[in-house]
Structure 1
Amino acid sequence: MNHTAYVFDAYGTLFDVHAAVRRHAGEIGPDGQVLSEIWRAKQLEYSWVLTLMGSYRDFWELTERALDFAFARVPSVDPALRQKLLDAYWKLDCFPEVPGMLASLKASGARIAILSNGSPAMLEAAVRSAALDKVVDEIFSVDAVKRFKTDPQVYDLVTTAWRLYPQSVSFQSSNRWDIAGARQFGFRTVWINRFSQPDEYQDHAPDLILPSLQGLVA
């Protein structure tokens, strides 16, 4: 099926969530990778738990809380670096193939959107920093429904706004749980398995698995 609507998860799919820590690796020391992994894991955990509880907090607040927890778990890293890391998170590097791939899809006539847990301010800053604002048609943030992925209301933001059937949307994410949620909703799903992770959620299989966004075709 030829798709004319391509929707991308942001963090981990377009933007490298570990870039903030890597940018200050010299000051952080040898435990930087551990700190970054805990930071990301807790950021996501907080979003899932809040949604299950029927509660909501801005994703930036969760990002701050998760970093504080990571500092507590990794005492070898100086917590005085907190503000530097938070500032860096607003300008995460995008993965190398992202600008060219999105530009190619855009040139083919496809509509391009981001659908993310990120707050509107976070996403707008990341898109501008990566110079993707000319190719992204719309940014959908969960803030509009005050629920995090994988709540169906999140994926419905796209189909409602663009007046599309779910199967008309090609959804790309590096997060396997996100792919499972999108598949359950009815999107055509492409799992961007950047780090050769084992497959899971076998009953919600992606339509396609790629090691990067390279290979997407309109």
Structure 2
Amino acid sequence: MSLNRRQFTKLMVGGMASSLLPSSVLAQGTTKNNIKAIAFDGFPIFDPRPIFGLSNTLFPQQGKQLAQLWFSKIFGYTWLRTAGNHYKNFYAVIEDALIFSAESLKINLSPNDKRMLMEAWLNLKVWPDVKAALLQFKKNNIRLAFLSNFTEEMLRRNAKNSGIDDMFEFYLSTDKVQAYKPSPLAYQMGVDAFGLPKENIAFTAFAGWDAIGAKWFGYPTVWVNRLGKPIEKMGIAPDSTGKNLNQLVDFVLT
């Protein structure tokens, strides 16, 4: 195919301009999903398994059952409170759910037992793959935030526990909007904080229902399905699913 002078000049100028751009800018422009920021739920970052372990240690006969009921009741309470417009912060909801679960199983929950189980939520550490993934995002100028039901104090303390607190630009707690996920009010915090269209913000979920909520809202959504759960049957699916943050790295940076 022959080129006239105008076409040739346009190609040359475009090529020269591209060669002068920083590699990070070029990488952002060619990322297949055009992601400029990531909003994380808490649990793709923080490993909750020590809470289950502590429950088993304190109550060898019923610890597993207690932890399962407790976690289920926590999110049941958040959904009920949001639906009924009676918000209460997440740490308080966790305590209410623990008391209910212990009473349901007829477990004698001493004040010290309760204190230890509650404090475990403030002493979480990150999953093994987290730090390397976050460093890759920072290297590529991807902005990072938490967008979580956790209180801001819970997010900051747990991030500091593992030395990742300076990697996050925003600590967005549902306390700010007084509505838990999957309310659109909760997901909107990411758009407002980053000042970006939702299409440029990847949401990273731990729970299947959270992945569905984020996808309904309009975020490109990656489900970090660390527990190998089946997908929720809601007629919609996350954009990408994997067992760890490697899938998120691939989704955002390749």
| Superposition TM-score, scaled by structure 1 size | 0.93
Cα shift readout 1:108-152 (whole Å, capped 9, x = no counterpart): 111011100111111111111122112112111111110110111
Structure 1 residue 78: Cα displacement: 4.5
Point out where structure 1 has 5 or more consecutive residues left out of the alignment: none
Q: Distance in 1 between matches of 2:199 and 2:36?
A: 11
Q: Secondary structure at the match of 1:2?
A: coil
Is 1:170–1:188's contact at 8 Å kept on the other side of the alignment?
yes
CA distances 1:159-206 after superposition (whole Å, capped 9, x unpaired): 112111111111111111111111111100011111211111342210
Q: How many Å separate the matches in 2 of 1:49 and 1:24? A: 25
**Which amino acid in structure 2 is aligned with residue 155 of structure 1?**
Y
Kept in 1: contact 2:90–2:151 (CA 8 A): yes
Q: Choose which of 89, 95, 117 in structure 1 pairs with 2:149.
A: 117
* 1:136 equivalent among 163, 168, 173: 168
Decide whether aligned partners of structure 1 residues 24 and 112 sit closer, same or farther in structure 2, where only a CA change above 3 A counts.
Answer: same
Q: What is the rounded CA distance, in whole Å, between the counterparts of 1:216 and 1:48 in structure 2?
A: 27
The residue identity in structure 2 corresponding to 1:136 is: F
Structure 2 counterparts to residues 64-79 of structure 1, below 5 A: 64-76=95-107, 78-79=109-110
Q: 1 or 2, which has the higher helix percentage?
A: 2
Residue 9 (structure 1) shift: 0.3
Give the Cα–Cα distance (whole angstroms) in 2 for the partners of residues 174 and 148 of structure 1.
15
Match of 2:232 among 197, 200, 206: 200
d(CA) in 2 for partners of 1:57 and 1:23? 25
Aligned to 2:81: 50
Runs of 4+ off more than 6 Å: none
1:88-124 Cα deviation digits (max 9, x unpaired): 1111122111122112211111101110011111111
Q: Which residue of 2 aligns with 1:177?
A: 209
- Partner of 2:135, secondary structure, is helix
1:148 counterpart (159, 180, 187): 180
The one-letter code sitting in structure 2 at the alignment partner of 1:131 is G
Residue type of the alignment partner of 2:71: R
Question: Does structure 2 conserve the Cα–Cα contact (< 8 Å) formed by 1:171 and 1:182?
Answer: yes
Contact in 2 for aligned 1:190/1:209 (Cα 8 Å):
yes
Q: Shift of the alpha carbon at 1:59?
A: 0.8
Q: Give the superposition deviation at 1:23.
A: 3.8
- Of 113, 120, 127, which aligns to 1:88? 120
Give the Cα separation in 2 of the matches to 1:110 and 1:74: 46
**By how many angstroms is 1:76 displaced?**
4.7
Distance 1:77 1:197 in 2: 31
The residue type equivalent to 2:84 in the other structure is M
User: How far apart in 2 are the matches of 1:54 and 1:23?
Assistant: 33
Partner of 1:216, secondary structure, is: helix
Query: Quick one: which amino acid aligns to residue 55 of structure 1?
Result: H
Per the alignment, residue 44 of structure 2 pairs with 13
Residue 53 of structure 1 aligns to which amino acid in structure 2? Answer: G
- The match for 1:41 among 44, 68, 72 is 72
8 Å Cα contact 1:112-1:136 kept in structure 2: yes
Structure 1 45/214 Cα, relative in aligned 2: closer, same or farther at 3 Å? Answer: same
Q: TM-score, normalised by structure 2?
A: 0.80
For 1:93 and 1:81, the matched residues in 2 are separated by 21
Aligned pair count reads 217
Structure with bigger gyration radius? 2
* Superposed displacement of residue 2, structure 1: 2.9
State the superposition RMSD in angstroms: 1.6
